[in-house]
Structure formats: C-alpha cells, structure tokens
Amino acid sequence: MKPASTPPLTSRLADLPPSGTIAVTGRVRELRARGVDVVNLGGGLAEPSAPCLAEPIAFAASCNVGGHPAGEADLRAALASKLLRDQGLTYDPTSEIVVTTGAKQAVLPALLSFLEHRDEVLVLDPCWVSYAPAIRLAGGVAVPVSLRAEDGFRLDASAFAQAVTPRTRAIVLNTPHNPTGRVFTSHELAGVAALARARDLWVLSDESFDKFVFDGHRHVSIATFDGMRSRTVVLQSFSKAFALPGLRVGYIAAPEALCASIVRFNEHVITCVSPLMQSVALAALGDEAAWTAQLLERMRAKREVAAQALARIPLLRSTPCQGTFYAFADVRGIEPSSQAFADRVLKAGVAVTPGIAFGAAAEGHVRINLVGPLTDIEEGLLRLQAALG
C-alpha cells in the first residue's frame, strides 16, 4: 500500500530562515562528533558560571500547581526594584511586568500585541538574528535601517525617519548592541525617541546586555526619555548579566495594556514560566551586586586579551567593544565575504559567526564570542592568528 501523504503545511514556519548563530554551534557539534578539535568562538556557555543555588530545588517540591501567567509576585517585585535602581524607571510589579521564557519568547507576544497584518517594523541592520523572523510570525514586515560600518555603526535617527511609512508601527532597538558591541549614546537615542513620539510608534528596547558596558560608556534605556515610558517595551534576560542561559527566564516591563495582552498569550501558550526557574532567578537577583562586579572583571580581562590578539593579525581591523561580550572584527582586507572567512578559519579549528547572519550591513565582519573560559578564547585566537598568518 502506498504510504499516506502528509497534509500540506503553511509557509509561515517553512519560509523562516534558520538562525545563523545556532547554525555555527550546530556545525561545531557535528565536527566534534567526528573527532575534530574545534574551539567555538561563535557561542558557548558563560564562564564563570553563576553560583550554585540549592534552595530552589526544595521549592520545586511545593509546586503542585501552575504559577501565575505573569510570573511569581516576589520575582516581579524584585524586577521592579531592579529597574528602579538601574534606570530610575518605575513599574507596577502587579500589572506592568511579565516574566517570559527567555528573551526570545518575550519578543513575539509583544509584537503580536501591536502589529496588524503587513504592518512594518524598523529594525537595525545588523541586528540579532531572531527579530525579523519574530516580526514575520506576527504578520508584520521587517524594514532594515542600516548602521554603517564607515560611521562606526552610529545610530542615525534621520535614517529611521526616511524609512517610516504610513504602515510603520514600531522600532526595535538593542543597546548594548549585538553584534557590533556599540553602546548607543543618549544623543543617539534621543533622536529615535523624538521620531517615535512624532509618528506615534512603539519601541521594543532589548536591553539584555545592560550590565556589560566598558570604558566609561553608560547604558541608557530609551524608556527614560520624556513621553517614552508609555510607548516602550523594555526587554531583559537572565541569560547574559547573570550567566544563566539555560535558565530560559526573561522579562518585559511595559504599559499595563500591553502586559495584559502578553499575559493572555502566556495563558494559552506556556501557562507560565516554570516556578522553579523563577525561584532561581529570584535568588540570582539577590546576588546581583557582587556577581555583576565579578563577571565584569572577568569579562574585561577576556576583552583585553582579544583586543591584543586581534591587533596582531595583519589586514584585520577591530576595536574593543563598548558593551556586550563580543568582538566584532572587520575582515574585508582578508576575505571577500564573512562566510568565506568563517569557513577558512573553521578549517583551522576555530568557529566564529559570519556577519552576514546579522544583516547585509554586517557583511565583511565576523562576531567573536568572548563568553567562555579564557583558556578557550586564548586558544581560539591563537588558531585564528595561525590560520591567517
């Protein structure tokens, strides 16, 4: 008997591009499975790892029912305190903060809350690989606004203004910026804020790297500008500043109506974020001050090692990142494309992420992840130097 055919699927998911960052890790996994020695500077687990927190395990035994779809009350209260302490932003923890399953899950319901079919969203080019697919899933159209390498990837409000059409509903920002490492200044953000107010736009502000800022730069949330709190969705995560990517806990701070919309999404899609994971997040917040200082000290050392090593490679140009834990190197003097460069150095046993994964404006660059152990970073950079020497 002829096997029954599979019913047709929609293009909604089939046409989504794969994640360029996850693809690098997948390639590393395949090579290692074949016994190939590869240092992964495309991604990896954070080092140092967050302190071991045993108390949440006991808490798990008491979780006989699902938690609140907006998040546990004590965690939301702690997050409201953190936002007030860090940025002077006041949010009602009972109605203006929602805990999400990581930062990725937070993006989609936020977009679904204010996008109708074919509405446009302005996104930075380059930007994190998952923004445009999330916009597409929400029925919208991502419109890239280029950050030019020749201008140091400066945020230019006039470029955003030129991209606005009657269909534009929102702007997606990310500062400190993945992948370039820029920390956008108050002056840069003020221009975007003025445009958002003038054109009545939402702003989704991904601030997941807020603690990774160096050399006197300062992270500023666009929600702190006049008239912006009521139109800004602040997004943060425990994956970066707390070195807990496996926790899969993020959160949104936003006006009450939008948060209520996201809570309805959670009710039907995830019910709630695991109460056990939320208890780990709450415990991590209690260690934030000491932990952040330790993490930044270690990251500064890695950043300095990377800057010195990359400076020794002829025809490669790189400046130390202002924020995040990435080095973003210009390789146009070495290879015609970022993918060709990544393929070349992978043969030497080191993986990096080609800039084209983040958008056309990142072509000719590669992103080097500095989150892992210093010994791995040093070894990877040595292999990079050897491959290009």
- Alpha carbon distance 206, 115 (integer Å): 18
- Can you list the alpha helix ranges (DSSP code H) found in the chain? 11-14, 20-33, 55-60, 73-87, 102-114, 131-137, 157-163, 186-198, 256-269, 275-286, 288-311, 338-346, 374-388
Integer angstrom CA distances of residue 73 from 96, 247, 263, 379, 381: 12, 18, 14, 45, 45
Q: Could you say which DSSP state residue 323 is in?
A: B
Architecture of domain 64-288: 3-Layer(aba) Sandwich (3.40)
Q: Are 125 and 359 in contact (CB under 8 A)?
A: yes
CB crowding 333-353: b at 16 or more within 10 Å, else e: ebbeebbebbeebbebbbbbb
Length of the chain: 389
Chain center to CA of 192: 20
H or E stretch including 174?
A: strand 168-174
Q: How much is the pLDDT for 50? A: 60
Q: How much is the pLDDT for 270? A: 87
Q: How many CB atoms lie within 10 A of CB 133?
A: 19
Joined together, the tokens standing for residue 131 give 């923004």
Q: Are 327 and 178 in contact (CB under 8 A)?
A: no
Chain center to CA of 290: 23
Joined together, the tokens standing for residue 375 give 């010994």
List the one residue out of 334, 321, 322, 328 whose CA is nearest residue 385. Answer: 334
Tell me the domain boundaries of the chain: 11-49+290-388, 64-288
Integer angstrom CA distances of residue 166 from 124, 161, 180, 256, 349: 19, 12, 30, 26, 49
pLDDT tens sequence for the chain (389 residues):
555 565 565 566 566 576 777 778 888 888 888 999 998 888 776 666 665 444 554 454 445 445 788 999 999 999 999 999 999 999 999 999 999 999 889 999 999 999 999 999 999 999 999 999 999 999 999 999 999 999 999 999 999 999 999 999 999 999 999 999 999 999 999 999 999 999 999 999 999 999 999 999 999 999 999 999 999 999 999 998 888 888 899 999 999 999 999 998 888 888 889 998 999 999 999 888 888 888 889 999 999 999 999 999 999 999 999 999 999 999 999 998 999 999 999 999 999 999 999 999 999 999 999 999 999 999 999 999 999 97
CB crowding 170-186: b at 16 or more within 10 Å, else e: bbbbbbbbbbbbbbbee
Task: Please check whether the domain covering 11-49+290-388 is classified as CATH 3.90.1150.10.
Answer: yes
Output the pTM of the full model: 0.88
- Alpha carbon distance 389, 387 (integer Å): 6
For 88, what's the count of Cα atoms within 13 Å in the CB-facing half-sphere?
8
